[in-house]
Structure 1
Amino acid sequence: MGLRAPVPSGGSLQAASFASVPVRGKSVVTSGVYERSFVRNGRVLHHILDPRTGKPAETDVLSATVIADKSLDADGYTTALIVMGADEVLTFAEQTPGIETVLLTTNAHLLKTTGLQGEDVQLQAG
């Protein structure tokens, strides 16, 4: 399954993939700070809010993908992972049964949980 490139879609359902992950019988959900965003006073404001501040999360996670049995679970986790930031995400995800995670950081690093280490999850050229 292709993971959609982290660029605003402008409402279009057609977008290139930045990575792919092999999956069967699971739900794959991705959230990112690149959708539902705008620039104000030179700063990008997005729709994923930090519950501690009530403001858009200041994070180094551009895109968080969760693979789980149920979409409802995966969706809740993706938002939380973005708020956590990359340093905490992998530790949290490794300790949470039933989920695997793929992250793209703002520095273009692709990170994944150990359950996906043997899988061919990789950045695609282009």
Structure 2
Amino acid sequence: MGTVFSFDVRGGDPGAVRAALDDAVAGLRRADAVFSTYREDSQVSRLARGEITVGECDAEVAEVLGLGAEAERAAGGWFSLRYAGRLDPTGIVKGWAAERAARRIAAAGASGVSVNGGGDVQLLGAPEPDRPWRVGVSDPLRPGGLAAVVSTAGARELAVATSGTAERGAHIVDPRTGRPARTDLVSVTVVAPRLTWADCWATAAFARGAQEGLAWLESLPDAEALLITADDEVRCTRGLAAHLD
């Protein structure tokens, strides 16, 4: 998946939680082997070339493709499972894999789990009783600065995902043209219960641009967002304040 994952795990039986953590890490490595578009022998690469069918792939492939198709419908075509006409589920795999890893660890009895995949975070439970998780949202126009701090106060699960140009340049593609999205935004951060969707929605909203992206995000249930334009204007969905520290 071309990124670094980090874990912060609290509570639970040490042996059970350690085993679940090891299993989660192995699952991330397996996801990379299955879904990588850079590996010629990955199942997704072979599927894209027509060498195998979805039915011949691991069950996770059908799951991810199904979720991706759902994201395409919800985003009105502003999210895609294809790049340059070729199957490429990269836009959904990282969020899905990080969320799945977090839930595996929580299911083993951990009272608090944070899984960070390249800056996109799935949070479950709490780090300590009466203390929420907090996630800083980087300011893309002020290196080292923060645009906001998101808190899980009042929520047992929350995800924070950001799409933009600050870290990787113009890498987000407009599905309609196949070219880098021409947008007035520099970043979109989405807060939602599940990282699978938060990551997809941030990407789709960025491609839409500030006005259309904000209006679309307002229409989504259980999703709030912070958008920053190239003119240093900050726009937020109406319910975002409830998640800010």
TM-score, with length taken from structure 2: 0.40
Match of 1:35 in 2: 167
Shift of residue 35, structure 1, vs aligned partner: 2.1
Shift of residue 117, structure 1, vs aligned partner: 4.2
* Runs of 5+ unmatched residues, structure 1: 10-14, 38-45, 122-126
1:72 maps to 2:196: yes
| Cα shift readout 1:22-77 (whole Å, capped 9, x = no counterpart) | 3343101111122222xxxxxxxx11000111111010111100011110100000
Change (3 A) 1:68 1:6: same
Match of 2:140 in 1: 6
User: Structure 2: how far apart are the matches of 1:69 and 1:81?
Assistant: 17
Match of 1:100 in 2: 224
- Pairwise CA RMSD of aligned residues? 2.2
User: Among residues 180, 186, 190, which one is paired with 1:56 in the alignment?
Assistant: 180
Shift of residue 120, structure 1, vs aligned partner: 4.8
Deviating runs (4+, > 6 A) in structure 1? none
Match of 2:205 in 1: 81
1:18 maps to 2:150: no
* Runs of 5+ unmatched residues, structure 2: 1-134
Identical-pair percentage:
38
User: Structure 2: how far apart are the matches of 1:98 and 1:6?
Assistant: 25
Change (3 A) 1:97 1:119: closer
How many residue pairs were aligned? 108
Q: Which has the higher helix share?
A: 2
User: Structure 1: how far apart are the matches of 2:223 and 2:158?
Assistant: 10
Q: Which has the higher strand share?
A: 1
